């Protein structure tokens, strides 16, 4: 269900300190139009609920198998096997599993449900200069719901921030503008063909929305995930700097080194991770890129 009043989230993380200023509550909304190969949150890519299997928690009791009304589960030498095409995401098996070896990525929540959690940490936001960050997935892919959430936050004078891939209708960003204080905006690859190859979509809409947000005087920080061998090439960094000099000279830039923290989730979702051999960039490489952007007049942070 995805309406203005109800949306699908994967989780809510409290006391986050790397997703905008101060101490923040991060709401992860499900659904993303991109399929970046390095995605650290694969459970947020699809807007539907998805069953995850954690074999190290499984005690082999097989309670889940008998609970499944569509016979989508079987038990073999590697533990529980999920027939994804047979699973209707009813969640009965997750209720039956006392070991939490089966969990559901995806919960339907109302604006009120989420606000009840958000307002619990009002004192932390006030003392730290923090607030709420909408992440994903692509939070803007549930634009109406996100807008209602952001509006509610503003009624409580809570600072709001969105981490966005930039791939949503301009009208969605336009609607969000009065209610979002900070935009953390991903620029991944400037070459359109390469962008399609590694993320599944063209970057034209992303670059266009970026320019429009800057023109609308939004508070934008550019986030560049540094993926070795994919976008840390001289060509891509030069093109990114040229684009930023033209559209947003002097804007804040965050360089985010590639990491492998989300890779174990791919197995749990029966998804393939194609960058298993990729090594994160060295500190020297990150400092080299930082210097390159700084030399072009951009204030740069690494890792946040």
Residues that bind ligand SF4 (CB under 6 A): 51, 58-64, 67-68, 70, 72-73, 80, 82, 87-93, 96-97, 99, 101-102
Output the smallest distance, CB 52 to ligand SF4, in A: 11
Cβ closest to ligand SF4, residue 103 vs residue 203? 103
Cβ closest to ligand SF4, residue 40 vs residue 90? 90
Output the smallest distance, CB 76 to ligand SF4, in A: 11
d(C-alpha 117, C-alpha 121), whole Å: 8
**Integer CA distances (angstroms), 106 to 44, 75, 101, 143, in order:** 8, 24, 16, 17
Output the smallest distance, CB 239 to ligand SF4, in A: 45
Output the smallest distance, CB 267 to ligand SF4, in A: 14
Cβ closest to ligand SF4, residue 26 vs residue 68? 68
Cβ closest to ligand SF4, residue 71 vs residue 127? 71
Output the smallest distance, CB 47 to ligand SF4, in A: 17
The per-residue DSSP string of 70-139 comes to: T--EEEETTEEEE-TTT-----HHHHH-TT--EEEE-EEEEHHHHHHHHGGGHHHHHHHT-EEEEESS-G
Asked if residue 226 lies in contact with residue 256, where contact means CB atoms within 8 angstroms, the answer is: yes
Asked if residue 52 lies in contact with residue 265, where contact means CB atoms within 8 angstroms, the answer is: yes
Cβ closest to ligand SF4, residue 83 vs residue 127? 83
Both tokens assigned to 162: 């969105």
């Amino acid at each position: 269900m995805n309406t203005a009043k109800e949306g699908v989230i994967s989780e809510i993380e409290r006391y986050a300190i790397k997703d905008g200023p101060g101490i923040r509550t991060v709401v992860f909304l499900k659904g993303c139009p991109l399929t970046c190969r390095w995605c650290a949150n694969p459970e947020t890519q699809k807007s539907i609920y998805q069953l995850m299997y954690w074999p190290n928690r499984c005690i082999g009791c097989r309670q889940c198998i008998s609970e499944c009304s569509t016979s989508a589960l079987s038990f073999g030498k590697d533990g529980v096997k999920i027939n994804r095409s047979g699973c209707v995401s009813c969640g009965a098996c997750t209720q039956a599993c006392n070991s939490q070896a089966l969990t559901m990525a995806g919960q339907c929540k109302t604006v009120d449900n989420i606000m009840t959690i958000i307002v619990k940490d009002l004192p932390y936001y006030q003392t730290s200069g923090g607030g709420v960050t909408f992440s994903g997935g692509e939070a803007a892919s549930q634009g109406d719901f996100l807008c209602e959430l952001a509006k509610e936050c503003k009624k409580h004078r809570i600072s709001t921030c969105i981490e966005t891939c930039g791939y949503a209708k301009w009208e969605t960003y336009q609607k969000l503008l009065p209610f979002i204080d900070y935009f953390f905006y991903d620029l991944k690859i400037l070459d359109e063909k390469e962008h399609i190859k590694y993320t599944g979509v063209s970057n034209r809409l992303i670059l266009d929305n970026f320019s429009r947000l800057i023109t609308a005087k939004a508070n934008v920080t550019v986030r560049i995930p540094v993926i070795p061998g994919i976008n840390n090439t001289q060509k891509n960094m030069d093109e990114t700097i040229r684009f930023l000099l033209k559209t947003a000279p002097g804007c804040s830039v965050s360089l985010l080194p590639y990491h492998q923290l989300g890779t174990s989730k791919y197995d749990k979702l029966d998804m393939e991770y194609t960058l298993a051999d990729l090594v994160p960039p060295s500190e020297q490489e990150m400092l080299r890129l930082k210097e390159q952007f700084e030399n072009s007049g951009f204030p740069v942070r690494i890792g946040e």
